[in-house]
Structure 1
Amino acid sequence: MIEVFKTGLSALTISAIGATIASGEPVAVKVFIGTMFEIGDNTGDRAGEFQHWYERYWTEAEPQDVPGAFKPVYCDDAGVCGAVLGMGKVNSSASMQAILLHPDYDFSQAYYVLSGVAGTPPSRGTIGDVVWGTWLVDYDLGHRWAPEEGEPGAPVFMPRSGYESYRLFQLNPELVAWGVALSDDVELRDSDAARQYRQRYPDAAAQAAPGVKTGTHMTGDTFFHGPGLSNEAQYIAELYGADDYMITEMEAAAIALVIDREHGTDRIVSLRGAVNFDQGNPNETTLQHLDPAPGETAGGFAETVENITLVGAPLVDRIIADWEQWKDGPPASVAD
């Protein structure tokens, strides 16, 4: 098992960070963790996307408000910073830009972990999976029409020229390989409710225990559901030459675009945990899947948000522990 280093802030460190900001010297950010929402408080209640990260790195950190950002930024003494950025492409990317441009922070050598929950197609994933993104694809940049207005059975999406430089991002394969290797032996959480829910789907992938995987993260403000739109997402991934569509989410490609314009994308990882399938099982309609009866929802949310941090933290901690080897980019060879 890879040793995981837990970082924290002493009162003296908090004062030091406050003094640094007050003196005009920016905080040197080594890793920035961006999540999209939190359910309630940052600790002590039901966990959303931010809570497990917060409890690992920032329980003693002072929140720093940034004009234009959705929520405050937290930093520890090792240079691990993070914030809740907000849900959706516009919300999250606006927050990221505000934080990137704020003079209190130096992002010139920073790595980024874009972290959150998501959906997955039952043919490739299951509840509780954590997926390292290899490609980020924008689901929305193109033309769409109603199926009855096109050729029967033909795709109803066509790319629009002019979006080529920001509808598709390949994430750094070396950095992804590090993330996968460092999380290879992480024991993922699961629940009886999730195990029972998976059995409603005939797919082997859907019925499997959760694991760590890789693939394309499809970013769209539309919370799409159903086999038709799932197939369309796979079609778009293939059309753009990306890997198989594994995750549907609402923010990563937009945040990556903001980071790319300032610092490039070589230090970005997108890490998503699957809390739902992107379509109903064969015995329910898409609408029934979207609006389930009481007691019919998928289990495993609490376990999945914990899994995301369990999978992502070893990479964060390795970057910090071996900063001299990482500050100029990921080491070329993946080591245990």
Structure 2
Amino acid sequence: MLTPMSAPVKAVLVTMFEPGDDQAGELTPYREAFGLEPIKLPGSGLDFVYANADRTLIALVAGVGTANTAVSLMALGLCGQLDLSNAHWLISGIAGINPHSGALGGVYWADWVVDGDLAHEVDLRSAPEDWPIGIFPLGAREPYGPSTLENGLFGRPYQRFQINPELLRWAMQKTAKIALLDPPELSTPRSEFANYIGAAKAPHVAVGGSLSAARFWHGPHHNEWAEQWVYYWTDGAARFVTSAMEDTGSLHAISQLERMARARLDRVLVLRAGSNFTCPPEGKSAVENLIGENEPNYPGMVAALENVVRVGGAVLREWLR
């Protein structure tokens, strides 16, 4: 077990999903690529923190869901044993993919991250007949209607985050042409979604909006909601591509650390790779497609874990230089 050093950290890698028991998760390929070893941060309450040999790269498994990641990142930033004040942050993981816009195994830099949990919700069976969904903004009176809480406690500062456009452009310039893994097992799910423009493509690197919600939702009606929700909260600036469960929690924590001069939000990038689609192909129900016969259905998992470290690793190496 390694001990941390007081020298300034150059980069922080945030992962969320690491199942253990010899099953690879989001951190595993980075551990292998950067020689990451566990470190102790006494008093932080954090168990899954890692570092490279010279401690310029810190990595952690922050946990699944917005609340877990927010708590973990605040604990990391406030522990007092690491200088993160000028570090770059890479939030990297797998994601659901909107088949209209993205591909299994594809890797997507987020331009906007939108929260999908802060909302009113009524059972659609109890809603007016002309409502497409029972989810609507806090302070609004209907789905996608104007909100009276635009700048208040539940307003846009907490509902959406724009990634630094200049840093995002730099990341795309560094990674757009990286060759990605496209294993034969992706051909079957790709053929099932042949009528979707995004899903029919091979893995590639691109930019797209990310929806962050602790609920693991699935299905065509929720997919349509996600498209409209991201459009609504970004004033049409972003299109929904990836669905994740943590990123607004992570960004909210980093923004709070910035107010304490312990982090910089303008040095954060969010990277997600497609492990599954957010709705089923024609002929399958949402439940059947989400759960599968024996276990959750993640046909792009292997490619996603490999491709996200190919792309994310290239950016981390630049930062460490």
TM-score bracket for the superposition, by shorter chain length? 0.7 to 0.9
1:63 aligns with 2:39: yes
- One-letter amino acid matched to 1:159: P
SS in 1 for 2:129: coil
Residue 260 (structure 1) aligns with: 255
Distance 1:302 1:261 in 2: 34
Residue 27 (structure 1) aligns with: 7
8 A contact 1:69–1:94 mirrored in 2: no
1:99 aligns with 2:76: yes
- One-letter amino acid matched to 2:39: P
Distance 2:38 2:301 in 1: 28
Matches within 5 A, 1:77-88: 77=54, 79-88=56-65
8 A contact 1:89–1:255 mirrored in 2: yes
8 A contact 2:107–2:272 mirrored in 1: yes
SS in 2 for 1:248: strand
1:217 aligns with 2:210: yes
Root-mean-square deviation (CA, aligned residues, Å) is: 2.0
Distance 1:200 1:182 in 2: 32
Residue 129 (structure 2) aligns with: 151
Q: Residue deviations 1:16-56, cap 9 Å, x none?
A: x84x74xxxx2311100010022326xxx442100111112
Residue 332 (structure 1) aligns with: none
8 A contact 1:32–1:82 mirrored in 2: yes
Superposed structure 1 runs of 4+ greater than 4 Å apart: none
The number of aligned residues is: 297
The 10-residue stretch of structure 1 (142-151 or 187-196) with the greater mean CA deviation from structure 2: 142-151
Q: Residue deviations 1:267-291, cap 9 Å, x none?
A: 1101011100001111101111122
1:205 aligns with 2:183: no
Residue 9 (structure 1) aligns with: none
Alpha carbons of structure 1 residues 70 and 251: separation in structure 2 relative to 1, 3 Å:
farther
Distance 1:53 1:84 in 2: 11
Q: CA deviation at 1:73?
A: 3.4
TM-score (norm 2): 0.87
The 10-residue stretch of structure 1 (99-108 or 141-150) with the greater mean CA deviation from structure 2: 141-150
Distance 1:97 1:296 in 2: 31
8 A contact 1:47–1:302 mirrored in 2: no
8 A contact 2:227–2:239 mirrored in 1: yes
Distance 1:105 1:238 in 2: 38
Distance 2:66 2:297 in 1: 26
Q: Residue deviations 1:90-140, cap 9 Å, x none?
A: 111111110111111001101100011110111111110111011111101
Residue 163 (structure 1) aligns with: 154
8 A contact 2:103–2:200 mirrored in 1: yes
Distance 2:296 2:88 in 1: 39
- One-letter amino acid matched to 2:190: R
Residue 108 (structure 2) aligns with: 131
8 A contact 1:138–1:218 mirrored in 2: yes
Alpha carbons of structure 1 residues 234 and 101: separation in structure 2 relative to 1, 3 Å:
same
8 A contact 2:274–2:300 mirrored in 1: no
Distance 1:237 1:181 in 2: 25
- One-letter amino acid matched to 2:230: A
Q: CA deviation at 1:141?
A: 0.7
**Unmatched tracts of structure 1, length 5 or more:** 1-13, 322-336
**Unmatched tracts of structure 2, length 5 or more:** 139-148, 259-263
